[in-house]
Amino acid sequence: MGTGKRGLLTAALTVICAVTVLAAPGTAFAAPAPLPVPAPTPTATPPPDKDLEEVREKLDRLYHDAAVATDAYNGAEEKAKKQSAEITALTKKITQGRQRLAELKDRAGAAARDQYRTGGLSPTAQFLLSDDPGQFLDGAGRVLQGQQATKTLITEVARAQQDLREYADDAAARWKELEADRKARAAAQRKIRRQIDTAEKLQSRLEKKQKERLAQLEREAAAKAQTAWLDTGVLDRADGTTSVQGDEAVRYATAQLGKPYVWGAEGPDSFDCSGLTSQAWAAAGHPVPRTSQEQWRQLPHVDIKDMRPGDLIIYFDDASHVAMYIGDGRIIHAPRPGRTVTVAGAGSMPVLGVVRPNATDPSHGRPHATAPSHGRPHATVPAHGRPDA
């Protein structure tokens, strides 16, 4: 066999052996490692609506408590202003009283000096010693007048001293009340901040989608309440007229739309609920009490079916929120922290009653531009739950 053929045969055998080894059973191979399969990314499952509804109700309670505390703060603030004004007036009276008392004492001193110059003799002794009895009798008349004047002077001094004591006592009482109201304001302020902080922390734990769903639940609850309120026929008798002052108040409130809620604020850049309504009516030339509770207590009540634009609707059993009715079943109000002055359905919160600041004004002005149509609100009527007054 030639050399060339032997080489080809050797190569062929080598290939056959290799194939045989590869095909032999039990031969181990290093299998390629499978590609790693990434673990599924965990996704946050939003809580069911039931849980979010509980969150909404808890937020409502927190903001409601803050509203009550805000009304207490505003009430104490108003009392403090009044007491400060009374203290200022009393201080002025005390200053004037001291000046009057000093003048009276000067007059008393002059009378005493005159008596000293006469030697302190009795009128009888002066008559006996006088060279001219007729002149003495004339002088005696003047003495009697002087005695009467002295008696009057003494009475005036005593009265001035008594007035000063009363002014001082009144001022001390006002200072005591002022200090009590300062403590009440501080306590209310702490409660407001505590309630708002708790609410904000509760909301901060929610994911974006949860917050969106929570807002949707609020809108749905408000729309449901508004529809139920309209179904009672509450607007069937509304005639859509308003007073001139009512129009002015509505105009002022409308101009504040979009401004932020800040507790204790009464404009011009921010408002709380009663700050908005009190400033609106002040702008209309008819001042009203500062707080929602005092507005409910002091202003004339009207039947809810007779309400007209400009009237104030008081909400919740404790009168902790107030809004301005603008017609067509709607209100303008400053809802709560984190919100702005907005339009909402008048029945979106539990109504306590309606008050009319200018109930004694017989003028109804002209028909209001947004006379009630008794239609249903859109499902997106703003819902703000319980407000912060």
In DSSP notation, 82-112 reads HHHHHHHHHHHHHHHHHHHHHHHHHHHHHHH
CA distance 117 to 94: 35
Set 273, 286, 364, 378: catalytic member: 273
CB atoms within 10 A of CB 57: 13
Alpha-carbon gap, residue 52 to 29, rounded angstroms:
58
C-alpha–C-alpha distance, residues 210 and 47, integer Å: 8
For helices 49-117 and 133-204, angle between their N-to-C axes, nearest 10 degrees: 170
Say how far apart CA 281 and CA 259 lie, in whole Å.
18
Rounded to the nearest 5°, which phi and psi values hold at 127? Answer: -65, -45
- Within 10 angstroms of residue 203's Cβ, the number of other Cβ atoms is 15
Does the active-site annotation cover 321?
A: yes
- Give backbone dihedrals phi and psi of 342, rounded to 5 degrees, phi first: -150, 170
Six-digit token string for 65: 């408590």
17 catalytically annotated: no
Task: Give the whole-angstrom CA distance, residue 230 versus residue 233.
Answer: 6
- Which of 64, 321, 368, 384 is catalytic? The answer is 321
Counting beta carbons within 10 angstroms of the beta carbon of residue 181, is it exposed (0 to 12), middle (13 to 18) or buried (19 or more)?
Answer: buried
Q: In terms of Cα–Cα distance, which of 308, 309, 307, 281 is closest to 294?
A: 281
Listed in sequence order, the residues at least 6 apart from 57 whose beta carbon sits closer than 8 Å to its beta carbon are none
To which H or E segment does residue 151 belong?
A: helix 133-204
Residue found by looking up tokens 């979010």 in the block: 52
CA distance 96 to 92: 6
Is 201 within 8 Å of 364 (Cβ atoms)?
no
| For residue 350, cis peptide bond before it (omega within 30 degrees of 0) | no
Of 333, 364, 368, 378, the active-site residue reads 333
Active site residues per annotation: 273, 321, 333
